[in-house]
Amino acid sequence: MDILLPRTLDEALGLKSDHPEAVPFAGGTDLMVELNLGRRLPPMALDIHRLPELRQWHCRDGELFLGAGMTYSRIIRELPGFTALAQASRSVGSPQIRNRGTIGGNLGTASPAGDALPVLAACDAEVVLARDGGGTRALPWHRFLIGPKKTAIEPDELILGARWRIARGPGSFSKVGRRNAMVIAIASLCLVLDEDRHAVRVALGSVGPTVLRAPEAESFAAGALAEAGAWDDPAAPLSPGVLEAFGERVAASAKPIDDIRGTAAYRRHACEVLARRALRWALEDRLSGPAGRGARC
Ligand SMILES: Cc1cc2nc3c(=O)[nH]c(=O)nc-3n(C[C@H](O)[C@H](O)[C@H](O)COP(=O)(O)OP(=O)(O)OC[C@H]3O[C@@H](n4cnc5c(N)ncnc54)[C@H](O)[C@@H]3O)c2cc1C
């Protein structure tokens, strides 16, 4: 196999345009498994892990841009204020995997169990793609992730990164697996409260062909906070049964299957429990004042 070693993004995009069959790799933590198991034998690979342009993040005009080459370890170190993103990053693999594995790789693999993906979905992220000649396009996450391990990327494109509007409000990521570390999610959930838009956003991983949102549950929770006057007064109590009803609605949005890691029924139950807990944590965080109120650069 030929390995292409570009030094700049422009060079990498040029090589990708000349050799669309070249498979890009950043950390290689997904690709190397495929190669070692003989599931994929590309004629050419494109090493993008050194490209400085992909290793950046910035906050600008109320938006976070996360370069595709950001590793989980760097996210944990450099973006601890983005609680849900940092929690998801902490839950990935082992320290070695977190030092190598990247956001771009999680997007490129597009596994329904990718831990970063529910966070991107709950944040309404766009995936930014580039091709040779300076052309870029941005796709909303749900138009990029189009099926299990299937994305809308074209053969001559690379993922530049993901970007989203920074929401003021608490958020969390949680995951159920067979043990506490080094585990593929049986179910995962990201919940984000958007204080400015009075919105609750919930995304689920590992319980459908790709990451899913739970729109009915989201409007129910936002409505319950509005009814209680809790958007303006975090101490206002919600009606009894709201957390439980929210959990049931989130579980109803899941489209799980039985597989070696868990049954569909267990996964639905896990979604219900994760959702209930995540909403309770968010409500508790709101009581702790501005410090508990979510993402900061
Ligand atoms: C032991 C182990 C444990 C793991 N645990 C977890 C876990 O807990 N949670 C989890 O979510 N994942 C886990 N993974 C999977 C993997 O680490 C993640 O999916 C990681 O984000 C992949 O990033 P990478 O940079 O290593 O991807 P790579 O292997 O380099 O690439 C993966 C795919 O994305 C494509 N790609 C990468 N970057 C780009 C780009 N910029 N543009 C276009 N295409 C691109 C590649 O062509 C390839 O198809 C684990 C893997 C291993 C081996």
Structure confidence by residue, pLDDT tens digits, 143-188: 999 999 999 999 999 999 999 999 999 999 999 999 988 999 999 9
> Is the minimum distance from the CB of 29 to ligand 1 under 6 angstroms?
yes
Instruction: Output the pLDDT for position 221.
Output: 98
**Which residues, in sequence order, are bridge partners of residue 137?**
129
> Ligand 1: distance of its center to the CA of 158 in Å?
14
> Ligand 1: distance of its center to the CA of 280 in Å?
32
Instruction: Output the pLDDT for position 288.
Output: 87
Q: Give the Cα separation of 262 and 175 in Å (integer).
A: 13
Q: Which atom of ligand 1 is nearest to 177's Cα?
A: 8
111 contacts 148 by C-beta, under 8 angstroms: yes
> Ligand 1: distance of its center to the CA of 33 in Å?
10
Helix (H, G, I), strand (E, B) or coil at 11: helix
Instruction: Output the pLDDT for position 134.
Output: 82
84 contacts 190 by C-beta, under 8 angstroms: yes
Residue nearest to atom 3 of ligand 1 (CA): 93
Q: Which atom of ligand 1 is nearest to 107's Cα?
A: 34
> Is the minimum distance from the CB of 31 to ligand 1 under 6 angstroms?
yes
> Ligand 1: distance of its center to the CA of 27 in Å?
7
In the chain, which residues have pLDDT < 50?
Answer: 291
Give the 3-state secondary structure percentages of the chain, helix then strand then coil, rounded to 5: 40, 25, 35
Q: Has this prediction a pTM greater than 0.95?
A: yes
Q: Give the Cα separation of 89 and 177 in Å (integer).
A: 15
Instruction: Output the pLDDT for position 291.
Output: 47
> Is the minimum distance from the CB of 100 to ligand 1 under 6 angstroms?
yes
> Ligand 1: distance of its center to the CA of 10 in Å?
22
Residue nearest to atom 37 of ligand 1 (CA): 105
Domains annotated for the chain, with CATH where assigned, are 11-31+55-165 (3.30.465.10), 171-292 (3.30.390.50)
Instruction: Output the pLDDT for position 232.
Output: 97
> Is the minimum distance from the CB of 92 to ligand 1 under 6 angstroms?
yes
Residue with structure tokens 């950001």?
70
Instruction: Output the pLDDT for position 295.
Output: 65
Q: What is the pLDDT of residues 220-253, one digit of tens each?
A: 999 999 999 999 999 999 999 999 999 999 999 9
Tally of CA atoms within 13 A in the half-sphere of 126 that contains its CB: 13
Q: Which atom of ligand 1 is nearest to 100's Cα?
A: 26
Q: How many CB atoms lie within 10 A of CB 276?
A: 19
Q: Give the Cα separation of 228 and 14 in Å (integer).
A: 56
62: left (phi over 0), alpha (psi -120 to 50) or beta: left
